[in-house]
Structure 1
Amino acid sequence: MAIYTQHLPAWKREEVEEIVDNSGKYELVGLVDIYGIPAKQFQQIRRNLHGSAVVKVARNTLVEHAFNELGNHYVDLNGHVSEHSALIFANGNPFKLFKSLEQTKTKRAAKAGEVTPEDIVVPAGPTSFKPGPIVGELQQAGIPAAIDGGKVKIKETKTVVKAGQAINKKQADVLAKLDIKPMPVGLSLLAVCYEGDIYLPDVLSVDDEAYKAKITLAAQQAFNLAVNAAVPTSCHFVTEAQIAKAVREARNLGVEAPIYEKGVIEMIISKAYRQANALKA
């Protein structure tokens, strides 16, 4: 029995042992934030992940006991345990796990005091509201509104709350009435331990298309550098381009010199003919 759990009641030791056992069964162990997820939706998320990942809610103290018992890099996960965190066990790599969790997220209405992860923008245009107190409520929330044609109209597109700012009660109430749902609902990966390393969201959040574009640009720049600098490579595409460039440059030199050689004389005559016509004109 590990020294971290020998003083615990039997049911708590079993909980810790389950966490330790799962850590050995799966390729990665992580922590997810489950704050704000309704119980019904949380159960649905668990069902959706069935077969690919296991989510387990446990007391923070027991989670920390388990990580301490596992030792090594698992201990570093203790720094990411929070009030609303849960364990996740999965196979594969952390990048795929992060992406799959992000793709399953939905949106919900904001609550007063919550910090928005993105700018909340209310577009200009008509609403379904009839004239009444809603006009004042919109204006108090920082949204310019007026009555137009018997309906309430938002006069201009407005950024009500910027990313990283807290949403006050008036803003939350108005956004809910406008059916604007800015808060993501789903499992947010806090940290994951994989093959001895700890991965955080800022590393795992990779824009696939932007990454591919960077690789493509790098390949193009490397190709151009190799061709223009005449760097010998084992890539036949580069070699073919280098030879083609050398042939073009040799022909151009032959024409400008001029050097009366086979394959060049025709170009020299053509150049002389063009110059003669230009002079005549």
Structure 2
Amino acid sequence: MSKRESKVLYFQKLSNYLETYKSIFIVNVDNVSSNQMHQIRHSLRGEGAVLMGKNTMVRRALKGMIGDHPEYEKLLNFVKGNIGFVFTNGDLKEVREKIVSNRVAAPARAGAVAPVDVVVPAGNTGMEPGKTSFFQALGIPTKIARGTIEIVSDVKLVTSGEKVGPSEAVLLNMLNISPFTYGMSVVQVYDDGSLFSADVLDVEEDELVGKLMAAIREVASISLAVGYPTIASVPHSVINGYKNLLAVSVASDYTFEGSEKIKEYIANPEAFAVAAPVAAASSDAPAAEDAPAEEEEEEDDDMGFGLFD
């Protein structure tokens, strides 16, 4: 197949995937082996498809589709570095888990950027004393124990985000420490025209509802303060209006069904004050009547004999 034919075939495949699937994971594939790629493709079988390609070819294909689908322009800003696409119509959380769960341990390589901090644990290394100077050069405290080098305390050898130095890489390999794990990582998620960070998938429904309610309260407060009615503020305006109407009714001779109870309470508060104790007394009456019966039962228990009879 010629180079031109392979490009045409790639454009067709990308176009078909974009029409077939509504969601896309833009993934970074730095340090991902071909065997890992095969395993990820296998785990996504029936749920999605993985598509890799040169960035220049991907950009050219997307630009050719922007005329009919302007929403694809959002993807162009992320077509950089070692990236690929995972297309799916499945549950985004489940598919993301399958994408990022396939990780393998790897030794530290000089010049590689550390994805995490690397700590060399304290303990016996099994190395001969002649290599003590190597540890001293890296600032690792050691002592000789039973003819071998022993690291006195834990030492952070590499900091996350920094490049691994040649000496650090050699030491980690000598200690048989493979501190890093590599696999696909999700850069961005495209879902039905929207583009967002993968962290959004970790937001729970309760948290979304809470933020929505907080926003509605803020809108209602601002609307009430400036006197501009909105759907959020209208219920509060109606309630406030009703309170004002009650206040006018109480202060005047005007009466309606809703204010009759309030006026009655203001006119005769003693009646309401007496009603509550009466109700409480009536509820306690049965318990008071039962008390003598319990005392009679206790008197019958001794059968008429005293303790020392």
Where in structure 1 do 4 or more consecutive aligned residues deviate above 6 Å?
263-267
Amino acid at match of 1:125: G
* C-alpha separation in 2, matches of 1:263 and 1:153: 80
Amino acid at match of 2:29: I
Amino acid at match of 1:84: N
Matched, 1:69 2:69: no
> Residues 69 and 96 from structure 1, CA distance in 2 versus in 1: closer, same or farther, beyond 3 angstroms?
farther
Alignment partner, residue 273 of structure 2: none
Matched, 1:261 2:281: yes
SS in 1 for 2:15: helix
> Residues 74 and 95 from structure 1, CA distance in 2 versus in 1: closer, same or farther, beyond 3 angstroms?
farther
* C-alpha separation in 1, matches of 2:23 and 2:164: 35
Alignment partner, residue 193 of structure 2: 196
Gaps of 5+ in 2: 211-276, 289-309
Q: What does the per-residue CA deviation read over 1:117-172, in whole Å, with 9 as the maximum and x for residues that have no partner?
A: 22211211122333332x33333233322221122211101111222222211111
- Aligned-pair identity in percent equals 26
Q: Is the 8 A contact 2:120 2:155 kept in 1?
A: yes
Q: Greater CA radius of gyration, 1 or 2?
A: 2
Alignment partner, residue 126 of structure 1: 124
More helix by share: 2
Of 43, 47, 52, the residue aligned with 1:52 is 47
Gaps of 5+ in 1: 1-7, 219-256, 268-281
* C-alpha separation in 2, matches of 1:69 and 1:160: 48
* C-alpha separation in 1, matches of 2:79 and 2:280: 80
Q: Is the 8 A contact 2:36 2:102 kept in 1?
A: no
Matched, 1:41 2:36: yes
* C-alpha separation in 2, matches of 1:140 and 1:65: 51
Amino acid at match of 1:77: L
Q: Is the 8 A contact 2:122 2:152 kept in 1?
A: yes
* C-alpha separation in 2, matches of 1:52 and 1:128: 49
Residue 67 of structure 1: how far off its partner (Å): 2.2
Alignment partner, residue 9 of structure 2: 14
Alignment partner, residue 27 of structure 1: 22
Alignment partner, residue 169 of structure 1: 166
> Residues 163 and 24 from structure 1, CA distance in 2 versus in 1: closer, same or farther, beyond 3 angstroms?
same
Q: Is the 8 A contact 1:77 1:191 kept in 2?
A: no
* C-alpha separation in 2, matches of 1:66 and 1:93: 27
Residue 21 of structure 1: how far off its partner (Å): 0.4
Cα RMSD over matched residues? 2.9
